[in-house]
Structure 1
Amino acid sequence: MLGTSDLAVAAAAATVPHIALNDGNAIPQIGLGVLRIDDEGVVPVVETALKLGYRHIDGAAGYNNEAGVGRALAATGFNTGEQRKKLWLTTKLRDSQQGYDSALAAFDESLKLLQVDYVDMYMIHWPTPFEWRSGETWKAFRKLREDGRVKTLGVCNFLPEHLERLHDETGDWPAVNQIELHPTWQQRGVVEFCQQHGIAVEAYSPMARGADLNAGNGTIAKIAQVHNVSPAQVILRWHIENGTIIIPKSVHEERQRQNLDVFGFALTLEEHAAIDALDGPKRAGHDPLTFTYA
């Protein structure tokens, strides 16, 4: 079991692979998600994750906790200097602030709350096809990148039709598409489209908020028993082997530790195929065709 000494933390951080992106940057394959953690509560959660060796934090303006994330980064020294360079920090634009001028203003506010000079990735949170403004928003994103305030540009919850529309309007494919993805909702068509166009896939709800731990009449638990790991570690290992970026959320130190500790075992081809076979017809979250968040 990992300790929290400097050596152990360095080892944990070094163990996580980086996924090469189409813009020349590379993102740590495992990060910490901070959805549904209030602004005060997120501070110790982020501090603990950084202590354990996480070097990728995934946030959003719509989570209403950017200020808390910023306080955690400042308290740990990860907001400036050499420590900042070791961290991949993502935030996302509120859907209500899409558009050129409004996106630029929103980004200024996010930087202030996060107490940093730049973010590693800025993302459009939802495509909102019923009020499409992603083309103009993307032009603002490109300016932020040109100004050195953002390194990588991404989107969340985009279906192939949205990715194609964005490309038609801007000539760009995003570097990352963050989507709901877990064993019972694998979105193979979306994943295949992204792979064909050099877009890295990032999974939120990688365990369906815990629901997939019991998927397949004990399939996950049986595999976990064989490897002497937790069911959560089995699912995260499946994602890792698929080349997917993952941002599991936990407010508990031991679970954070376990979520980072998925490199000491490998699934057999049969085990991996058994998890592949759990794919189902129903998402756990929201429909990108109809939903808007914040």
Structure 2
Amino acid sequence: MALSRCPTVTMNDGNTIPILGFGTYSSKGTPKSDCEMATKVAIEVGYRHIDGAFVYGNEKEVGQAIQAKIADGMVTRKDIFCTGKLWSTCHRPELVRPALEETLKNLQLDYLDLYIIHFPVSFKAMEKCKDAGLVKSIGVSNFNRRQLEMILNKAGLKYKPVCNQVECHPYLNQSKLLEFCKSKDIILVAYSALGSQREPRVVDEKSPFLLEDPVLGAIAKKHNRTPGQVALRYQIQRGVVVLAKSFNEKRLKENFQALDFQLTPEDMKVIDGLNRNFRYLKFRVYQEHPNYPFNDEY
């Protein structure tokens, strides 16, 4: 399937990122082989943006899948936009490049297209990785407005982050953060865009199930689509790069079809009205850390 099927967004450093990506996070207990197979299927379906992280524990399997699809001629390395993330145990400047090099080794790649700080920390060591050619673009994840401003106002900043990857879905539409990021030419990337699976270790099992929302259901019925496709399309039309995570082949294909239809302005306004500032992933283990990002309004 041609890469041109998925529109791209130009980042502030001139590089481009596909607006719909495949998320590789897997729940505890999911066989790693499932991740490898799902990544292969995702590439076969047409996904070219592969979002991974060291902490997911499956970089080797993701790398094997990418290499297999390169080997069989379906894609070249240049076709794939691969994102990695620096985990919180490697924030000290001298640990950043070794962590990136381990990720590259796991993925069997010479460079990443995007490397993201998983949680708010220093940015300077990331700039050095870009200078070394190990990564094309650098960004952040889970930063609030104040933390972004700290980076943007830092003396001697060489490269501002190209993106901020945050939880974003109709129940947490991040409209204020999105407006701020757009004003600074920073792309918002949405994770948990379909809500988050009820997983007791990270999500309160009493959380509302986004894809069962009757408003999304009614809009989906009107367009002969699924609620998941509507939730993804909502982000695409807002100019948000959106990640869809599923290891189910049928849903992988359905999610990619979010590129194939349009929501009306009225639909968009109705979905905007679903916002309740509800966060599925609170990462409470870090709540006492001075850089915990979710105490601020946005």
Q: Same fold judged by TM-score > 0.5?
A: yes
Contact kept in structure 2, 1:28 and 1:56, CA below 8 Å: yes
User: 1:68-87 counterparts in 2 under 5 A?
Assistant: 68-77=61-70, 83-87=76-80
Q: 1-side partners of 2:288 and 2:250: how far apart?
A: 34
> Which sections of structure 1, spanning at least 5 residues, go unmatched?
1-8, 128-133
**Residue 270 of structure 1, CA deviation:** 1.4
Structure 2, unpaired ranges of 5+? 198-208, 293-298
2:18 to 28, 36, 39: 28
Q: Give the equivalent residue in structure 2 for 1:17.
A: 7
Counterpart of 1:212? 210
Aligned length: 273
Judge conservation of contact 2:5–2:46 (CA < 8 Å) in 1. no
Which of 178, 187, 194 aligns to 2:174? It is 187
Deviation at 1:241, TM superposition (A): 0.6
Instruction: Tell me by how many angstroms 1:291 deviates.
Output: 7.7
Q: Tell me: CA distance 1:74–1:175, structure 2 relative to 1, closer, same or farther (3 Å).
A: same
Distance in 1 of aligned mates of 2:71 and 2:170: 34
The Cα shift of 1:97 comes to 0.4
Tell me how far 1:23 sits from its aligned partner.
Answer: 0.4
Matches within 5 A, 1:249-260: 249-260=245-256
Tell me whether 1:237 sits opposite 2:233 in the alignment.
yes
Instruction: Tell me which of 279, 284, 288 is aligned to 1:283.
Output: 279
Of 138, 148, 151 in structure 2, the residue corresponding to residue 166 of structure 1 is: 151
C-alpha distance in 1, partners of 2:288/2:96? 19
Counterpart-to-counterpart distance in 2, 1:43 and 1:63 = 13
Q: Per-residue displacement from partner, 1:94-129 (whole Å, max 9, x unpaired)?
A: 1110121101111111111110000000000011xx
The aligned amino acid for 2:183 is Q
CA contact (8 A) 2:44 2:74 kept: no
Return the letter of the residue paired with 1:176: C
Query: Aligned in 2, Cα 1:69/1:263: closer, same or farther, shift over 3 Å?
Result: closer
Q: CA deviation at 1:82?
A: 7.0
The 5 Å alignment of 1:52-201 reads 52-77=45-70, 83-127=76-120, 134-135=121-122, 138-169=123-154, 170-171=156-157, 172-201=159-188
2:12–2:185 contact (8 Å) kept in structure 1: yes
Instruction: For residue 240 of structure 1, report the CA deviation from its aligned partner.
Output: 0.8
Cα distance in 1 for residues equivalent to 2:246 and 2:43 = 13
Q: Alpha carbons of 1:287 and 1:194: their partners in 2 closer, same or farther (altered >3 Å)?
A: farther
Question: Is the CA contact 1:182–1:205 (under 8 Å) kept in the aligned structure 2?
Answer: yes
Q: Alpha-carbon deviation of 1:164? A: 1.3
Distance 1:47 1:281 in 2: 35
Amino acid at match of 2:16: A
| TM-score of the two chains, using structure 1 as the length reference | 0.87
Q: From 196, 199, 203, give the equivalent of 2:190.
A: 203
The alpha-carbon deviation at position 14 of structure 1 amounts to: 1.7
Task: Give the TM-score taking structure 2 as reference length.
Answer: 0.86
Greater than 4 Å deviation, 4+ residue runs: 78-82
Instruction: Indicate the SS of the match to 1:31.
Output: strand
CA contact (8 A) 1:39 1:66 kept: no
CA separation in 1, counterparts of 2:288 and 2:33? 27
